[in-house]
Amino acid sequence: MADPQEESKPLLSRVRGGSGRDRPEGAPACRSVQVGPGTTARRDLCLDQAVVFIEDAIQYRSINHRMDASSLWLYRWYYSSLCQWILSFTIFLILFLAFIETPSSLTSTADVRYRPVPWEPPCGLTEGLEALCLLVFAADVSVKSYLVGWAQFRKNPWLLAYLVVLVVSLMDWIVSLSLVCHEPLRVRRPLRPFFLMQNSSMMKKTLKCIRRSLPEMASVGLLLAIHLCLFTMFGMLLFTSEKDAGQDKERLTYFRNLPEALTSLLVLLTTANNPDVMIPAYSKNRAYAIFFVAFTLIGSLFLMNLLTAIIYNQFRGYLMVR
């Protein structure tokens, strides 16, 4: 049998003939296996490690995890189709609870005139299902923390956040049962989408890419805000005269005060109220169209496209690097 201490040494460590910098901890140096007692066990372990490395590369998983024989068995069992299906179903179930929990809007029709009274589950039904889901998540974070080790666990913000969200959800669940489901606020409900994000590598990459894009997006957002405020002030000055019926109708409809003017131009930035917003003034004098056309050209056709180009460039560059 292979020596347990031998299995815990890093691959290519200096003791075993390597630098110890190119492979994860917890795996023996396969190229140093020689003929002797335990050779078959070490060879099988090396083959299992090679299979796991290939699977990690195919699935874009990290290789920073334990590589001894028992951990490899647990690792492959955790990423088996059955375990991943159970975890995915658990995530679906805890998110689906929002449709049947009080207050529920899950009815056959959305028309308030014909909508029947929604079914309200008894206290303890949804809480029991949620308890099962939280137990699965507790087992999930326990297995992950064991496989990656304490050193990697402390460096992984997603696993730390996973543990915090799970603890907060359990505490809120206990409070909910103690108050017989009549608590005014349930903190755990807004935290449920985190379980989906934590289990999706693509969502993690997307959030990381958004975080990297925020500085450049903020600069374009500042330009959009300045553009919107300037044209709002111009519009308030342009449509303040009450002597002109066309101007007065425009002012009373879209530029009654500063918040309404800002809202009207913000909607115009999406072209949702175009050309309705300029019809009252345009019907009086066609020259008023210059104000709205200039706002649309600068805002919608230049700044919004610039923002889209920045987002695309950041995502494209990030995915190409990855």
Tell me 278's DSSP state: G
Q: What is the pLDDT of residues 42-66, one digit of tens each?
A: 887 888 888 888 888 887 787 888 8
Return the CA Rg of the chain: 30
What pLDDT, on the 0 to 100 scale, is given for residue 102?
79
- 30: pLDDT confidence band, cut at 50, 70 and 90? low
**Length of the chain in terms of residues written:** 322
Residues 6+ apart with CB under 8 A from 97: 126, 129, 130, 192
For residues 117-132, average pLDDT: 85
Residues 6+ apart with CB under 8 A from 183: 175, 176
Q: What is the pLDDT of residues 218-269, one digit of tens each?
A: 888 899 999 999 999 888 888 775 555 555 666 667 788 888 888 889 998 8
Q: What percent of the chain has pLDDT over 70?
A: 82
Residue 13, pLDDT above cutoff 50: no
- What is the Cα–Cα distance from 52 to 85, expressed in whole angstroms? 20
Tell me 239's DSSP state: T
For residues 168-190, average pLDDT: 87
- What is the Cα–Cα distance from 67 to 64, expressed in whole angstroms? 9
Report the SS3 class of residue 123: coil
User: Residue 271 in contact with residue 296, Cβ under 8 Å?
Assistant: yes
For residues 273-290, average pLDDT: 84
Q: Could you tell me the sign of the dihedral formed by the alpha carbons of 5, 8, 11, 13, in that order?
A: negative
Assign domain 205-321 one CATH number from 1.10.10, 1.10.287, 1.10.1740, 1.10.150.
1.10.287
215-224 long-range contacts (CB < 8 A, ≥24 apart) are: 216/310, 216/314, 217/307, 217/310, 217/311, 220/303, 220/306, 220/307, 220/310, 221/307, 223/303, 224/269, 224/299, 224/303, 224/304, 224/307
Domain segments of the chain: what residues? 4-67, 80-199, 205-321
- What is the Cα–Cα distance from 75 to 256, expressed in whole angstroms? 64
User: Residue 63 in contact with residue 79, Cβ under 8 Å?
Assistant: no
- What is the Cα–Cα distance from 79 to 74, expressed in whole angstroms? 9
